[in-house]
């Protein structure tokens, strides 16, 4: 994920001394985006002013990802680059998963960094920054399984939808994955706290929420499961679209699928990480399901939710991957016909069980590259065929932003299709009904079919 670009304008407050400014650059997943919003919220409450560029900021925080080696290499490069934006008294901090993983090693590698703070340490940021101003250096990487930042009001910058963390950490132990080490054990927020936040989001004029968790459908707050949460969030007045990411195939109980199918605001899209299509490989990955279990899960969901779009994550080149196992991954893609997939080359992460597998299991780079290429072509081919079959359909979009070409607007359908439409930028944040007129294979172009403006319904006073 790239750095966040725009920030809401600050209210005009006349103060005797200018507020210290803070710039946060975010890498990695949506959970990191949500965490950056929390950090901004925490720091704004302590008198900081957010800015949208590092140039001359009093505090620069880099919120990092550790999932693959290249995510960390990018951050190390960026930390070097950031030096040129620093004033003599600028404080640079590294937060997030890479901070948690490397701890004090970051301070040794990048001398201009004063703070290293893991995902459970953001509450202490104002105090740590005060200390750093006095010349001290800090590493804060303890886990806190009670921490949900419940009293921190997130400062959101995404214009049209809200990221809502509902669960932190992960109790699975997939053998390739660093997340359980960087984000600690799984814990869920109380349902009532999530609902309250969703109500606040509606009051701010947003109508789409994305519930976030590492294995979000294993959500359980002691009294309520994910089915209860979907129903509760999905029936908040003014909410029009509910999404969630990322679920684990093993946590799709019939209750959860039923809640999804019967709550009209829950969108017809599931991002269902598959990782591999081979049962023996899934076993080595410790995914705790077989190819057949995965297919059965897909079948149950498709039977309950007509028009369900499915996307996935796939890893290529995990230790010991045989030709047959890789072919199984390709064949599962053909069988499920995913709408889209994020595909990754396996990256060995220090401390994970995969690094202790026999060295002769390592797949040579050229084999990984060839397999990766075949996988990408297979997935893209299927998604192109799927998309060509959708031309002429009419669907509702939430207009999200100006498209990259600068002319068209970009919107999302309920089933997660990206559609470019000619419309005035004033329509960002509105729902627009369009007919799909073209596809690049991956994204669509569409034409509005109605001139009737539809804003998300705002909550009625006293309702
Ligand atoms: N190497 C490659 N991909 C990985 N993922 C997680 N860990 C690794 C790794 N070590 C992928 C998985 C996961 C997604 C977020 O990142 O596919 O679902
Ligand atoms: Fe990582 Fe597996 Fe947990 Fe997902 S479920 S965060 S892949 S350990």
Cβ distance 326 to 317 under 8 Å?
no
Among 388, 422, 445, which residue terminates a domain? 388
Residue 193 lies in a domain: yes
Q: Are residues 97 and 192 in the same domain?
A: no
pLDDT in tens, 104-123: 999 999 999 999 999 999 99
Residue 231 lies in a domain: yes
Q: Are residues 374 and 423 in the same domain?
A: no
Cβ distance 335 to 379 under 8 Å?
no
Mean pLDDT of the 84-110 span? 96
Mean pLDDT of the 47-60 span? 96
Going by C-beta distance under 8 Å and a sequence separation of 6 or more, which residues neighbour residue 336? 274, 295, 298, 310, 312
* pLDDT at residue number 309: 98
pTM, 2 dp: 0.93
Q: Are residues 132 and 46 in the same domain?
A: yes
Span from the CA of 65 to the centroid of ligand 2 (angstroms): 14
Cβ distance 53 to 23 under 8 Å?
yes
Among 38, 45, 29, 88, smallest CA distance to 61 is for 38
With H, G, I as helix, E, B as strand and everything else as coil, classify residue 97. Answer: helix
Residue 9 lies in a domain: no
Q: Are residues 296 and 337 in the same domain?
A: yes
pLDDT in tens, 215-239: 999 999 999 999 999 999 999 999 9
Q: Which string of DSSP letters, residue by residue, matches 398-416?
A: EEEEE-TTSSSEEEEETT-
* pLDDT at residue number 73: 94
- Ligand in nearest proximity to the CA of 249: 2
Q: Are residues 366 and 323 in the same domain?
A: yes
Residue 14 lies in a domain: no
Phi/psi of residue 309, nearest 5 degrees? -90, 140
Span from the CA of 172 to the centroid of ligand 2 (angstroms): 6
Residue 462 lies in a domain: no
* pLDDT level of residue 8 (50, 70, 90 thresholds): very low
Residue 1 lies in a domain: no
* pLDDT at residue number 5: 39
* pLDDT level of residue 2 (50, 70, 90 thresholds): very low
CATH code for position 448: 2.40.50.140
pLDDT in tens, 425-445: 999 999 999 999 999 999 999
Site to substitute for ligand 1 among 65, 68, 321, most atoms within 8 A of C-beta: 68
* pLDDT at residue number 13: 52
Number of domains into which the chain is organized:
4
In this structure, of 290-299, 356-365, 402-411, the range with the lowest mean pLDDT score is 402-411
Residue 277 lies in a domain: yes
Q: Are residues 201 and 245 in the same domain?
A: yes
Site to substitute for ligand 2 among 179, 212, 282, most atoms within 8 A of C-beta: 179
Going by the DSSP 8-state scheme, the letter that residue 68 receives in this structure is S
The residue contributing the CA closest to ligand 1 atom 16 is 67
Span from the CA of 236 to the centroid of ligand 1 (angstroms): 33
Q: Is the CB of 352 under 6 A from ligand 2?
A: no
Mean pLDDT of the 295-319 span? 98
CATH code for position 253: 3.30.750.210
Domain extent at residue 359? 270-388
- Ligand in nearest proximity to the CA of 289: 2
Which tokens hold the place of 72?
Answer: 């960390």
Residue 58 lies in a domain: yes
* pLDDT level of residue 462 (50, 70, 90 thresholds): very low
**Alpha-carbon distance values, 360 to 279, 319, 381 (Å):** 21, 8, 33
Span from the CA of 3 to the centroid of ligand 1 (angstroms): 20
Q: Are residues 312 and 358 in the same domain?
A: yes
In this structure, of 52-66, 375-389, 393-407, 438-452, the range with the lowest mean pLDDT score is 438-452
Q: Is the CB of 97 under 6 A from ligand 2?
A: no
Closest ligand 1 atom number to CA of residue 352? 10
pLDDT in tens, 336-388: 999 999 999 999 999 999 999 999 999 999 999 999 999 999 999 999 999 99
Q: What percent of the chain has pLDDT over 90?
A: 91
Span from the CA of 170 to the centroid of ligand 2 (angstroms): 6
- Supply the mean pLDDT for the chain: 93
pLDDT at 314 over 70: yes
Q: Are residues 348 and 446 in the same domain?
A: no
Measure the CA–CA gap between 430 and 428, rounded to whole angstroms.
6
Q: Are residues 312 and 349 in the same domain?
A: yes
| H or E stretch at 418 | strand 418-421
Among 236, 267, 298, which residue terminates a domain? 267
Q: Are residues 302 and 361 in the same domain?
A: yes
pLDDT in tens, 123-178: 999 999 999 999 999 999 999 988 999 999 999 987 899 999 999 999 999 999 99
Q: Are residues 119 and 42 in the same domain?
A: yes
CATH code for position 129: 3.40.50.12160
Q: Are residues 103 and 195 in the same domain?
A: no
Among 248, 267, 286, which residue terminates a domain? 267
In this structure, of 274-283, 327-336, 448-457, the range with the lowest mean pLDDT score is 448-457
């Amino acid at each position: 994920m790239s750095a966040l670009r725009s920030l809401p304008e600050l209210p005009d407050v006349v103060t005797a001394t200018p507020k210290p400014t803070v710039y946060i650059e975010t890498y990695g997943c949506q959970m990191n985006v949500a965490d950056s919003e929390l950090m901004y919220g925490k720091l704004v409450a302590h008198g900081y002013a957010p800015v949208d560029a590092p140039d001359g900021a009093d505090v620069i925080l880099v919120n990092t990802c550790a999932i693959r080696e290249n995510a960390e290499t990018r951050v190390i490069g960026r930390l070097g680059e950031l030096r040129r934006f620093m004033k003599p008294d600028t404080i640079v901090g590294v937060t997030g998963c890479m901070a948690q993983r490397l701890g004090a090693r970051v301070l040794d590698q990048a001398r201009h960094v004063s703070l290293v703070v893991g995902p459970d340490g953001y509450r202490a940021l104002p105090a740590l920054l005060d200390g750093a101003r006095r010349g001290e250096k800090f590493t804060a990487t303890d886990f806190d399984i009670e921490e949900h930042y419940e009293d921190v009001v997130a400062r959101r910058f995404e214009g049209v939808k809200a990221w809502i963390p509902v669960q932190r950490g992960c109790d699975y132990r997939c053998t390739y994955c660093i997340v359980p080490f960087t984000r600690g054990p799984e814990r869920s927020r109380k349902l009532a706290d999530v609902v309250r936040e969703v109500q606040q989001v509606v009051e701010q004029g947003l109508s789409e929420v994305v519930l976030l968790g590492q294995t979000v459908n294993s959500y359980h707050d002691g009294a309520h499961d994910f089915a209860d949460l979907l129903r509760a969030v999905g029936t908040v007045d003014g909410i029009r679209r509910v999404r969630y990411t990322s679920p684990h195939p093993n946590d799709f109980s019939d209750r959860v699928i039923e809640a999804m199918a019967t709550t009209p605001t829950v969108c017809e899209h599931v991002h269902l990480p598959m990782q591999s299509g081979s049962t023996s490989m899934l076993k080595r990955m410790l995914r705790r399901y077989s190819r057949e279990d995965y297919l059965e899960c897909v079948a149950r969901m498709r039977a309950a939710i007509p028009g369900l779009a499915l996307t996935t994550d796939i890893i290529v080149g995990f230790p010991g991957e045989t030709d047959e196992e890789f072919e199984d991954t390709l064949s599962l893609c053909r069988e499920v016909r995913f709408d889209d997939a994020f595909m990754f080359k396996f990256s060995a992460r220090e401390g994970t069980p995969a690094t202790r597998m026999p060295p002769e299991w390592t797949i040579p780079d050229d084999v990984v590259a060839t397999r990766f290429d075949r996988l990408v072509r297979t997935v893209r081919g299927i998604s192109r065929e799927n998309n060509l079959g959708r031309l002429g359909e009419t669907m509702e979009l939430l207009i999200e932003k100006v498209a990259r070409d600068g002319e068209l607007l970009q919107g999302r359908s309920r089933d997660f299709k990206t559609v470019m439409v000619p419309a005035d930028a004033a329509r960002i944040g509105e729902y627009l009904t369009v007919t799909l007129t073209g596809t690049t294979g991956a994204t669509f172009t569409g034409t509005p079919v109605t001139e009737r403006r539809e804003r998300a319904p705002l909550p009625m006073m006293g309702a």
